[in-house]
Amino acid sequence: MRVWHARRNNEMLAGIVLKHLLRTPLKLLFTSAAQRRHTGYTRWLIRQMDAVVATSVRSGSFLEVPHTVIRHGVDLDVFRPPQGDDDTIGATGLPGKYLVGCFGRVRHQKGTDLFVRAMIELLPQHPEWTAVICGRVTVEHQAFGDELKAAVVAAGLADRIRFLGEVDDIKPWYRRLTLYVAPSRNEGFGLTPLEAMASQTVVVASDAGAYAEQIVMGITGAVAPAGNYEALRDAIASYLADPDLASRSGKQAREHVVRNFGLSNEAEELEIVYEALLAPAGLER
């Protein structure tokens, strides 16, 4: 007996065919990260599973079957606190004393425009801060990216709001930041806040995906309603105005991720589900 662990419709269907038509000895497990009502077809597929995992409480709320919530984790050795000069703003050649960043593909869904708008409004009041946007601009979103860059130039902030494109290694950039911003309008789960917090960086995020389940408000960062520019801007402003608070919160963020979101935690919780499925009377449905 083996576990067939599916994450997509076609994988669930393949498992059903193998188990019921080809009589392969399998237990079927599905992990769902979707945060929307599933189609009738998907709901039927899910009902054929022997067990179901949701990656967040929010994604679980859209499931109509019993399920276990197992949140994704991050590698705490790969995403780590700063340790040397390469993990500081000084290694970048950028101006200022503190870095605030937004990572991910440059597009409307990711809320890059909300971040740039906030930086244009806030940075003139905080001359020690520089903003970086790391991420690729794909062809279909080129006009969107060009508009953002033009707005930065028009504001006279091209030296302090930098579009770095797709960097070779994002990990040191997390460590160089004092503040990370995840302004997505929608997400599945979303790992970047965890990667930032594991790197000892405080996070301001929207409540898209599982972001709100990752952040402890006022302790490891702040959460704003997705798409709400004013709430996002004000949350960012509180940390730009108080870098010491950002630094303290970053240390608490690292501790929080170590306690709750290590990759080993996710693996151990999945192992429990696997063992229950493979037990003689495990999770029969």
Q: Which domain holds residue 19?
A: 2-73+263-278
pTM of the complete model: 0.89
What's residue 34's pLDDT? 87
Specify whether 12 is located in the same domain as 119. no
Specify whether 133 is located in the same domain as 221. yes
Strand order from edge to edge, sheet including 26-32: 2-6, 26-32, 51-54, 68-69
Q: How far is Cα 31 from Cα 110, in angstroms, rounded to an integer? A: 23
What's residue 281's pLDDT? 65
Look over the chain and give the mean of its residue pLDDT values, rounded to a whole number.
95
Specify whether 52 is located in the same domain as 91. no
What's residue 209's pLDDT? 87
Residues facing 29 on adjacent strands:
5, 51
Specify whether 89 is located in the same domain as 212. yes
> Phi and psi of 60, rounded to 5°?
-65, -30
CA 116 to centroid of chain Cα atoms:
19
Specify whether 48 is located in the same domain as 131. no
Q: Is residue 79 domain-resident? A: no
Residue 274's CATH number: 3.40.50
pLDDT band per the 50, 70, 90 thresholds, residue 84: very high
Q: Which residues of 175-198 are buried (b: 16+ CB within 10 A; e: fewer)?
A: bbbbbbbbbbeebbbbbbbbbbbb
3-state secondary structure of 110: coil
What's residue 285's pLDDT? 45
Using H for helix, E for strand and C for coil, what is the string for 149-173?
Answer: HHHHHHCCCCCCEEEEECCCCCHHH
In the chain, the percentage of residues whose pLDDT exceeds 90 is 93
Using the predicted structure, report yes or no on whether residue 284 has a pLDDT greater than 50.
no
Our count of domains for the chain comes to 2
